[in-house]
Amino acid sequence: MFESLSDGLQSAFKSLSGKGKLTESNMRDGLEIVQKSMLEADVSYSVVQDFMGHVSEKALGKRVLLSLRPHEELVRIVHDELISILGPVDSSLHLKSEGPTVIMLCGLQGSGKTTTCGKLSQLLKEQDIKPMLVAADLQRPAAIEQLHVIGRQLDIPVYSEADNKDPVKVCQNGVAKAKAEGARVVILDTAGRLAIDDELMAELAKIDKKVGPDQVYLVVDGMTGQDAVNSAGAFNDALELDGVVMTKLDGDARGGALLSVKHVTGVPIKFIGTGEHFDALEPFRPEGMASRILQMGDIVAAAREAHRIVDESEREELEAKMASGDFTLDDFKNMMEKVAKPGLMGKMMGLMPGMGQFKEMMDSEEAAGGIRQTIGAINSMTMEERRNPKIIDAHRRTRIAKGAGVQSPVITQLVKQFEMMKPLMQGMMGQGAGGRMKMMQQ
Ligand code: GDP
């Protein structure tokens, strides 16, 4: 999810990490890449301008430029700014204490309104609240039946009128019925169109005015990028929206749309849809979303963790070793022992520029087992072998494998892995040895 935005930001951070020490001018280069990546991810221009304004102001501050790890500071600034523009949080349905609360869902055809009716109903049912659905989508022939199917699946009443062509009347009658039956929530499933048109907007505005729903939510398809933003603008002009539900964020959705829709409508993102099933509706959390956009997991915590596990003097020593090419399998083992904790290696991967894609791989049980095996194998090597793994020939390999209780290809693999991990370890040591970071960026 949000691949393009996070890729762009990752490359921006990569370019910064390679610089070692930052100056105002190369921080500006980094900011430019951030800006470009946001535009590429379909964030609209005005949102990008606003966003960059805030981020630049903070990133070019003295504290950041003088900081030892300025790129981390920049990540934090971008992360915080994302949270700030995605917020505030409000996933409450604002149910009234008396009488039915009327929730109207609107959006383009195919955006996921009818499905969201089912998802919201499921959510309410989990709180022991039984809603009533009203089939007011009289445009799409199958919509009424689709809602009845959902009603049967969830065991909730659905109000519809076969021959009534007036959606306002259907909604009014539906709400009256809900009142009479003592339902606490009524959800109106309104009509959509393939594209915005005046007739649709007039119909929805009329329902809004005559039925007076308590909450009006716009349902937008997160996969439609810039189109979602344009339609959100039109709905927002015609109706008084109270919130947005963005669907289909389980696919290859582009994160930019969410930022822009929030900006255009100015109302809270209430929920995100992450699948076709009724339970695939999540209350919107800006923190989680910002982390997903950056695809860096909990970067702040991971950065803190990295600092915690490798203390300053140790870091300097290891940096010096790597700079002189003295980083041995023994050092590798020490590092492994430090990071071989559940979740930590993955966090580190997420933290390192360009390494986000290895995060899940490293978080698995299998990876933890692999690390334990690696430590065992290094323990079976002589000091000389640990210092210079190149001397490990077939004969030595068999001996080491036997000692560690593994097959000898595991040892071949380990030596290869060591060569591959070297630059990653450098990354963890910090950016002091700027030039060497280049290895990680290829
Ligand atoms: P409507 O025309 O706005 O009522 O749209 P529907 O509710 O009929 O949804 C259109 C299609 O999108 C259906 O195939 C749904 O299963 C699918 N859909 C809705 N929400 C989601 C979601 O969050 N994720 C995915 N993957 N599909 C969704």
Q: Which residues contact 320 (CB under 8 A, 6 or more apart)?
A: 326
Does residue 95 sit within a domain?
Answer: no
Q: Which of 86-100, 168-182, 278-292 has the lowest mean pLDDT?
A: 278-292
Does residue 215 sit within a domain?
Answer: yes
Please give the residue range of the domain that contains residue 196.
101-283
Q: Is 298 annotated as a binding residue?
A: no
pLDDT of residue 258: 85
Does residue 288 sit within a domain?
Answer: no
Does residue 136 share a domain with residue 53? no
pLDDT-based confidence at 59, cuts 50/70/90?
Answer: confident
- Ligand 1 center to residue 169 CA distance, Å? 26
pLDDT of residue 180: 94
Indicate which residue's Cα is closest to atom 19 of ligand 1. Answer: 112
| DSSP conformation class of 295 | T
Mutate to test the pocket of ligand 1, among 104, 247, 252 (most ligand atoms within 8 A of CB): 247
Note the pLDDT tens digit of each residue in 325-371.
Answer: 677 888 878 777 766 655 566 655 554 444 454 555 555 666 667 77
Q: Is 308 annotated as a binding residue?
A: no
Does residue 143 share a domain with residue 81? no
DSSP H or E stretch at residue 377: helix 365-379
Contact 8, 37 (CB under 8 A): yes
Does residue 219 share a domain with residue 158? yes
CATH number of the CATH domain containing 76:
1.20.120.140
What number of residues does the chain have? 442
Q: Which atom of ligand 1 is least distant from the CA of 189?
A: 4
Does residue 430 share a domain with residue 345? yes
Note the pLDDT tens digit of each residue in 193-220.
Answer: 888 889 999 999 999 999 999 999 999 9
Does residue 193 share a domain with residue 78? no
Instruction: Look at residues 86, 109, 133 and tell me which one is the last residue of a structural domain.
Output: 86
pLDDT of residue 146: 94
pLDDT of residue 433: 34
121 CB within 6 A, ligand 1: no
280 CB within 6 A, ligand 1: yes
Q: Is 107 annotated as a binding residue?
A: yes
274 CB within 6 A, ligand 1: yes
Q: Does 440 have pLDDT greater than 50? A: no
Does residue 92 sit within a domain?
Answer: no
pLDDT of residue 363: 58
248 CB within 6 A, ligand 1: yes
Enter the ipTM. Answer: 0.99
DSSP H or E stretch at residue 164: none
Does residue 429 sit within a domain?
Answer: yes
Q: Is 382 annotated as a binding residue?
A: no
Tokens of 9: 């930001």
- CA-wise closest residue to 294 among 58, 70, 82: 82
Does residue 169 share a domain with residue 54? no
The rounded distance, in Å, linking the Cα atoms of 435 and 442 is: 12
107 CB within 6 A, ligand 1: yes
- Ligand 1 center to residue 261 CA distance, Å? 18
The rounded distance, in Å, linking the Cα atoms of 178 and 402 is: 75
- Ligand 1 center to residue 142 CA distance, Å? 14
Instruction: Look at residues 34, 51, 86 and tell me which one is the last residue of a structural domain.
Output: 86
Does residue 126 share a domain with residue 62? no
Q: Does 9 have pLDDT greater than 80? A: no
Radius of gyration of the chain (CA): 28
Q: Is 193 annotated as a binding residue?
A: yes
pLDDT of residue 438: 31
Distances (CA, A) of 343 to 2, 180, 298, 309, 349: 22, 53, 11, 14, 10
Does residue 271 share a domain with residue 123? yes
Instruction: Look at residues 31, 56, 86 and tell me which one is the last residue of a structural domain.
Output: 86
91 φ, ψ (degrees, to nearest 5) = -105, 20
pLDDT of residue 320: 72
pTM for the model: 0.67
Which segment, 35-39, 60-64, 165-169, 333-337, is predicted with the most confidence on average? 165-169
pLDDT of residue 394: 93
Does residue 257 share a domain with residue 115? yes
Indicate which residue's Cα is closest to atom 9 of ligand 1. Answer: 112
Strand 281-283 versus strand 269-273 pairing type: antiparallel
Better-scored residue on pLDDT, 123 or 296: 123
- Ligand 1 center to residue 58 CA distance, Å? 40
193 CB within 6 A, ligand 1: no
Does residue 110 share a domain with residue 8? no
pLDDT of residue 436: 27
110 CB within 6 A, ligand 1: yes
Q: How many Cβ atoms from other residues are within 10 Å of residue 258's Cβ?
A: 28
The rounded distance, in Å, linking the Cα atoms of 270 and 430 is: 39
Does residue 26 sit within a domain?
Answer: yes
Q: Does 186 have pLDDT greater than 80? A: yes
Q: Does 406 have pLDDT greater than 70? A: yes
Tokens of 37: 């990546």
118 CB within 6 A, ligand 1: no
Does residue 423 share a domain with residue 313? yes
pLDDT of residue 98: 86
pLDDT of residue 268: 95
The rounded distance, in Å, linking the Cα atoms of 246 and 160 is: 26
CATH number of the CATH domain containing 239:
3.40.50.300
Average pLDDT, whole number, for the chain? 79
Residues of the chain with pLDDT > 70, as a percent, come to 71
Q: Does 296 have pLDDT greater than 70? A: no
What is the domain count for the chain? 3
Does residue 426 share a domain with residue 326? yes
Does residue 289 sit within a domain?
Answer: no
The rounded distance, in Å, linking the Cα atoms of 53 and 56 is: 5
pLDDT of residue 216: 97
Contact 425, 348 (CB under 8 A): no
The rounded distance, in Å, linking the Cα atoms of 117 and 106 is: 11
Does residue 293 sit within a domain?
Answer: no
